[in-house]
Amino acid sequence: MYLNSAAAGLFPGRFPARLYRGACQASSASRDANRGKAMTKYAFFFSYSSESWARMISAPGDRTAAVRQVLGALGGSLECIYWMFGSHDGIAIAELPDSVSAAAASIAVSSTGAIVNNETRVLLTQEQLGQALEQASTATQAFQRPGQQS
């Protein structure tokens, strides 16, 4: 589990320094080295079960290793993981070959019961957004609002 230094201060001596150092390691390449295929970035929002939190409190550890292992098994990699307050406990930014791989990661982790709420979002670069807006311009011209069909 990664904690920021302020959170670690709430539990002095409880969490080793290595557990609350920054967890983000941005990937310099967005291509799958094994296939030469462009990788897609996904944001995985997750919330742990109360049982998972209890286990992590009694035995704190680096959860990024487990996340990397799951993503690696699917041909992907972890770019970044952050913990947060609110409706989700954390967010992981990952690169995976395709949406099927992203769905597999989500299903695999959710099936363990350790995660009680899991949402996956595809992330777009500025360039991809520009391409989507171009396509949306064409699609908007073709779209007919209800009641306006010819």
Q: 75-105 pLDDT, tens per residue? A: 999 999 999 999 999 999 999 999 999 999 9
Give the pLDDT confidence score for residue 147 in this predicted structure.
Answer: 85
In a domain, 147, yes or no: no
In a domain, 148, yes or no: no
Under 8 Å between Cβ of 43 and 121: yes
Helix or strand holding residue 40 (H, E): strand 40-48
Distance, CA of 14 to CA of 92 (rounded, Å): 24
Give the pLDDT confidence score for residue 24 in this predicted structure.
Answer: 57
Distance, CA of 147 to CA of 5 (rounded, Å): 58
In a domain, 150, yes or no: no
CATH of the domain at 80: 3.30.70.100
pLDDT under 50: residue ranges of the chain: 1-22, 26-29, 31-33
Count of domains observed in the chain: 1
pTM for the whole thing? 0.73
Give the pLDDT confidence score for residue 25 in this predicted structure.
Answer: 52
